Amino acid sequence: MSTLDERPIRVLVAKAGLDGHDRGAKVVAAALRDAGFEVIYTGLRQTPEMIVATALQEDVDAVGLSLHSGAHMSLFPRVLELLKAQGSDQVLLTGGGIIPEADVEALMALGVGQLFGPGTTLAALTDYIRDEVMARRGVGSAPPHP
């Protein structure tokens, strides 16, 4: 097994902009920890620049944005642009919140990963992140969950 196989998946859970609703982000962060991921939670009111700086500093595999403010069409693209500008194309940008389906499709077309709305199971979220990160690492299928 290589170092990439053994290193725990590191996920940054972030709340961008003026959105003050963080209960969902905290639930997701706890579920990711329970699934064996290393999780960094930024807290409220982060700018895209702060999120990307933290992602680089913490050497994360994925960034999960939680948005309920309606600013998803500006915040997701900005975080994605900043990640690319820093050479972090391999970092998965995913997230969720209240995002209309047409906007989900537009964001995914830009390169944002799968987006999750209300009613998504925590298992679906953790399985997606695990599988996508392992694929980006070039490791193949993910090891079984703990």
Residue 101 covered by a domain? yes
Quote the pLDDT of residue 3: 54
Structural domain harbouring 62:
3-137
Among 10-19, 96-105, 126-135, the minimum mean pLDDT is found in: 10-19
How far does Cα 20 stand from its chain's mean position? 18
How far does Cα 54 stand from its chain's mean position? 13
The C-alpha atoms of residue 115 and residue 36 are separated, in whole angstroms, by 21
Encode pLDDT of 70-90 as tens digits: 899 999 999 999 999 999 989
Reference 127, options 139, 114, 118; nearest CA is 114
* CA angle 76–140–33, rounded 5-degree value: 55
Strands 10-14 and 38-41 turn out to be parallel
Give me the amino acid identity at 129: I
pTM equals 0.90
Quote the pLDDT of residue 146: 46
- pLDDT averaged over the chain? 90
Residue 144 covered by a domain? no
Quote the pLDDT of residue 17: 77
More confident residue, 42 or 24: 42
Residue 145 covered by a domain? no
Quote the pLDDT of residue 141: 53
- What crossing angle do the helices spanning 101-110 and 72-85 adopt, rounded to 10°? 10
Q: Are 38 and 9 in contact (CB under 8 A)?
A: yes
H or E element at residue 6: helix 3-6
Strands 115-116 and 92-97 turn out to be parallel
Residue 123 covered by a domain? yes
- The domain total for the chain is 1
**Domain containing residue 16: CATH number:** 3.40.50.280
Quote the pLDDT of residue 42: 92
| Residues whose CB is less than 8 angstroms from the CB of residue 142 and which lie 6 or more positions away in sequence, other chains included | 130, 131, 134
Residue 98 covered by a domain? yes
